[in-house]
Amino acid sequence: MSSSPHIPHIAIIGGGFSGAALAWHLARDGGGPKRMTVFEPRPFLGAGLAYGAGDPQHRVNVPATRMSIDTSQPDDFINWIRGTGALADDPAATRPDGDVFPARAVFGRYVADRLAPLLHAGVLTHLRRRVTGVHRVPDGGWIVTDATGVSLPADIVVIATSHPAPQPPGVLRALDLHPGQHPILVTNPWQAGALDDIRRTDSVLVVGSGLSMADAIVSLTARGHTGRVTAISRRGQRSHGHATGAVKPVGDFISPPARTARHLLQRIRHELARHAGQPWQAVFDRIRTQAPDIWAALSVPERRRLIRHLRPFWDTHRFRIAPQADEVLRARERAGTLDVRAARVVAARVRHGQFALTLRHGSSPAWEACYDAIITTTGPAHGAIMHMQPYIGGLAAAGLVEVDATGLGLHVDALGRACVGGRHEGSLFVAGPLARGRFGELMGLPEVTHYAEKLAVIISTLAAARAGVSYPYQERATT
């Protein structure tokens, strides 16, 4: 073991967009030298689940001109597209009005390209390993252990893991199914080949009616599927499309802010009525920009009430689908091969190579329906936060992290530091969607980018305070 002048080491667990954007801004921020390691099993940083999609039909859901790794350079992505010719083989990406909606994987390549110089310069290290444990050490630092048994010391740890993957309803998980045989249950439609066993004329039930539902149906349609598709969700709403032409945000929701979910709903309805001559997107775009202040003004009980009663409506209006996907869904609705309904699965069994399901909406009478295949595209399984990664469960067992009071993510303070009760961990941070319980809107790319920029300043300041001391460093394998 040797001693050398200390350069603070920052370990970032998760190399999707949240972790990659944080690393990029940390490298650009001042505060003295630092070392960064990103633990990410995927071959490239920046793609993650959202932007690592292999299906070219899965497009970004906002114009490329509104996407960037740096909010001070909003045209960075579209300029990169033009400079690299990334869309030369995808003429459908450009709309008649000039807006560009590339495949999501293109954005993933852009982020990886931006991080490449950091990797080449040695400022950033990408370890293609899965983290299994994070432990506090007496000197105030951390030990991060990966699946190969190697442990690295770190001064600062950032949890940049994505939110938990969706889970199929329990009645479906309990079924005895045979892979490759009908009926087909697809619980991860983004996995390569996940839809291969669904026949062109199969009747399909999609559980969930948001952006992921649109992805699944667009993929099925591109494969020539013409069978009947039914999409169900608690409210029976599907994601909406963008307004035609440019829209300027209108309305005000923070002067003063609403203190209850009911009052907020009344304010939204009032603004929609007041601006009835404009696209509804104009009001929701204003809500989006004011969302942090709206969220901060609500008490925890009111936040929970909003999540339970209003979030389904917010999600389908806030997270809009690309025009190309909207056209596919509208065409299938007109053809009678797509129906979106309010329902849930209350019972399921396999009969004659099909799913025989019992569906119900609220207290209405249940009805029976049969399907050849089911695709689950529900939202994140927030209840599984503590179980989705072993290291998070270990931190929870050690009393270092806990679930936020809203149940949306991990408990953090205003600086993004992990909290338990009223106590925060000074060098353990949470980046990306798992911090949304505190900040509210951390699912859209602009919001995640802005949070990464803010977090980079905070972490750089902390790293600078820890620099310049002698620190014993050794990479070691656990026994």
* Chain segment 3-39, per-residue pLDDT in tens: 556 789 999 999 999 999 999 999 987 666 789 999 9
Encoded tokens for 195: 């839809």
What's the rounded mean pLDDT across residues 266-283?
92
Task: With a cut of 60, say whether residue 254 has pLDDT above it.
Answer: yes
3-state secondary structure of 212: helix
On whether both 416 and 468 belong to a single domain, the answer is yes
Would the pLDDT of 159 be above 70?
yes
* Pair (222, 361) in one structural domain: yes
In the predicted model, is pLDDT for residue 250 greater than 70?
A: yes
> Is the pLDDT reported for residue 239 higher than 90?
no
The CATH number that applies at residue 113 is 3.50.50.60
Considering the domain architecture, whether residues 128 and 202 belong to the same structural domain is answered as no
Confidence of residue 473 (pLDDT cuts 50, 70, 90): very low
Q: Are residues 386 and 371 in the same domain?
A: no
Percent of the chain with pLDDT over 90: 63
- Whether residues 9 and 130 share a domain: the answer is yes
Candidate from 112-116, 181-185, 221-225, 310-314 with smallest mean pLDDT: 310-314
Q: Using the 3D structure, point to which of 335, 357, 376 is the last residue of a domain.
A: 376
Residue 466 pLDDT > 90: no
Q: Are residues 280 and 371 in the same domain?
A: no
**Residue 249: Cβ within 10 Å count:** 15
Residue 255 belongs to a domain? no
253 lies in some domain = no
Q: Is residue 223 part of a domain?
A: yes
Residue 251 belongs to some domain of the structure:
no
| pLDDT score of 365 more than 50 | yes
Considering only 357-361, 373-377, 379-383, which range has the smallest mean pLDDT?
A: 379-383
Q: What pLDDT score does 371 carry? A: 97
Burial of 297 (0-12, 13-18, 19+ CB in 10 A): middle
Co-location of 118 and 208 in the same domain: no
- For the stretch 304-325, pLDDT in tens is 999 888 888 888 888 889 999 9
Which one has a higher pLDDT value, 202 or 194?
A: 202
Mean pLDDT of 452-476: 72
R_g of the chain, CA atoms, integer Å: 23
Specify if 254 maps to a domain. no
Residues 299 and 337 in one domain: no
Global pTM value: 0.89
Q: Torsions phi, psi of 367, nearest 5?
A: -140, 160
Q: What pLDDT, on the 0 to 100 scale, is given for residue 472?
A: 38
Distance CA 452, CA 21 (A): 6
How high does pLDDT run on average in the chain?
89
138 and 25 within one domain: yes
**Across 167-171, 278-282, 433-437, least confident range:** 167-171
Q: What are phi and psi of 257, to 5 degrees?
A: -75, 155
Per-residue pLDDT of 389-416, as tens digits, reads: 899 999 999 999 999 998 888 999 999 9
55 has pLDDT over 90? no
Q: Which domain holds residue 461?
A: 2-165+382-477
In a domain, 110, yes or no: yes
- Domains contained in the chain, number: 3
pLDDT at 75 over 90: yes
372 & 425 share domain: no
Average pLDDT over residues 264-276: 93
> How far is Cα 24 from Cα 76, in angstroms, rounded to an integer?
14
Residue 72, pLDDT above cutoff 80 = yes
Q: What pLDDT score does 329 carry?
A: 96
**Domain boundary, last residue among 376, 398, 417:** 376
In this prediction, residues 262-267 reach a mean pLDDT of: 94
Asked if the structure places residue 246 within a domain, the reply is: no
- 330 shares a domain with 311: no
Cis status, amide bond into 183, omega within 30 of 0: yes
Task: Look at residue 380 in the predicted model and tell me its pLDDT.
Answer: 73
pLDDT band at 479 (very low <50, low <70, confident <90, very high): very low
Residue 248 lies in a domain: no
- Label the pairing between strands 184-186 and 204-207: unpaired
Q: Are residues 292 and 362 in the same domain?
A: no
Closest CA to 57 of 88, 93, 83: 93
